Amino acid sequence: MAEVTIFDQNKTAAGTLSLDPEVFEVPVRPEILHFVVRAQRASWRSGTHATLTRTLMKGGGAKPWRQKGTGRARAGSNNSPLWRGGAVIFGPQPRTYDFKVNKKVWRLALKMALSARLAGEQLIVVNTITLPEAKTKHFVKVKEALGLKKALVVAPEEMIEVMLAARNVPGVTIITPEQLNVYDILNHNHLVLVESVVEQVTARLTA
């Protein structure tokens, strides 16, 4: 069972915490992380791209000119894909890019992402974060004290002042335990967990 140091918001040691090895000491398999991240990014695509096929275009029902005798090539419609302004052959149509990922795989990938941050000494546990008021300048001081640049902060919903103060800080993303996901963990250099959410995250992934 891994033991991590708990820091306060000034990065002074304030105790230790034991982390569940079933969540924070899982062997990392890059192919599973890649698969889940690809699925997550695919689900964000709107898929609203579209082109006009011959059936979707207006007009084009009348033959532009008679079949013979004009000296020009035969033409049956001004919607022909061969013409400028005509229809598009096999163009993209609205679709969804989602693909299924089993819940067990989602959970496993989340455990692997957490384990990777712990193994790389990029996981920081803080006992709490308190600010005089919900202003960005106060959170910037906390960020600098903890030595963070690009960091994902996981805090309980009750810390509304912290969330409001952190939302405009460059390089910092703050979320609740329910919003924790593989992409955000891997997309930030550090993962900061408020001590009270560790139990929630562990319970979510071991239930």
Confidence of residue 207 (pLDDT cuts 50, 70, 90): confident
Read off the pLDDT of residues 161-193 as tens digits, 9 standing for 90 and up.
999 999 989 999 999 999 999 999 999 999 999
Q: In the chain, what are the domain boundaries?
A: 2-44+100-206, 46-96
Strand partners, 125: 6, 193
Please tell me the pTM assigned to this model: 0.84
pLDDT for position 18: 94
Tokens encoding 82: 């061969």
Read off the pLDDT of residues 46-100 as tens digits, 9 standing for 90 and up.
999 999 999 999 988 899 999 999 999 999 999 999 999 999 999 999 999 999 9
Listed in sequence order, the DSSP H helices in the chain are 21-24, 30-44, 103-119, 136-146, 160-166, 182-186, 195-206
Tokens encoding 8: 């306060």
Beta-carbon-side half-sphere exposure of residue 34 (alpha carbons within 13 Å): 3
CATH number, span 2-44+100-206: 3.40.1370.10
Distance CA 152, CA 169 (A): 11
173 backbone dihedrals φ, ψ, rounded to 5°: -120, 130
Minimal CA–CA distance to 165: which of 187, 143, 197? 143
